[in-house]
């Protein structure tokens, strides 16, 4: 499984990468712009990410905006629904407006702090793990 971890907080990014590395190969980036570049390259090379964990609060581009652009890129590339990345939004916020902004575009929601058990359950919910 190819995984992209997007988080501007280095500690959170390293923790997520460490947890997810047992499920596949992880790339880590710390900005929305870098995430879009990584996804664009993956689409061009047809080396798609199976899973993307995407922090909602980032300094350059919000995770919600990055999510929207990724979905547009996937559609423009002609991906079928089962070829699109499973995207889990990661945040320390649990307010209803944040949840509403992600509904229908992402595959799940993780509230910090997280651990391996939480991540395993969330990945299973996406259908990537049995």
pLDDT at 96: 60
Is residue 127 a part of any domain in this protein? Answer: no
**Helices (H), ranges, 46-115:** 63-76, 96-102
User: What is the reported pTM?
Assistant: 0.93
Containing domain of residue 15, as a range?
Answer: 2-120
Is residue 130 a part of any domain in this protein? Answer: no
CATH number, position 104:
3.40.50.2300
For the chain, report the end-to-end CA distance as a whole number of angstroms: 13
Split the chain (130 residues) into runs of 10 and give each run's mean pLDDT. 95 95 96 97 96 92 94 96 94 69 82 92 92
Is residue 129 a part of any domain in this protein? Answer: no
**Count of the separate structural domains present in the chain:** 1
Taking CA atoms, 124 is separated from 38, 76, 120, in Å, by: 24, 27, 6
- Going through the chain in order, the beta strands assigned E by DSSP cover 2-6, 25-29, 51-55, 86-91, 108-111
pLDDT at 61: 93
């Amino acid at each position: 499984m190819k995984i992209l971890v997007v988080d501007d907080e280095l500690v959170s990014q390293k923790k997520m990468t460490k947890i997810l590395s047992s499920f596949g190969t992880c790339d880590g980036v710390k900005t929305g712009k870098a995430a879009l570049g990584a996804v664009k390259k993956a689409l061009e090379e047809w080396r798609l990410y199976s899973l993307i964990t995407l922090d909602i609060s980032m300094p350059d581009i919000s995770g919600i905006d990055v999510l929207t652009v990724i979905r547009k890129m996937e559609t423009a590339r002609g991906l079928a629904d089962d070829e699109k990345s499973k995207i889990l939004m990661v945040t320390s916020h649990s307010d209803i407006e944040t949840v509403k902004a992600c509904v229908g575009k992402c595959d799940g929601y993780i509230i910090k702090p997280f651990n391996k058990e939480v991540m395993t359950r969330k990945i299973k919910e996406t259908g990537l793990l049995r």
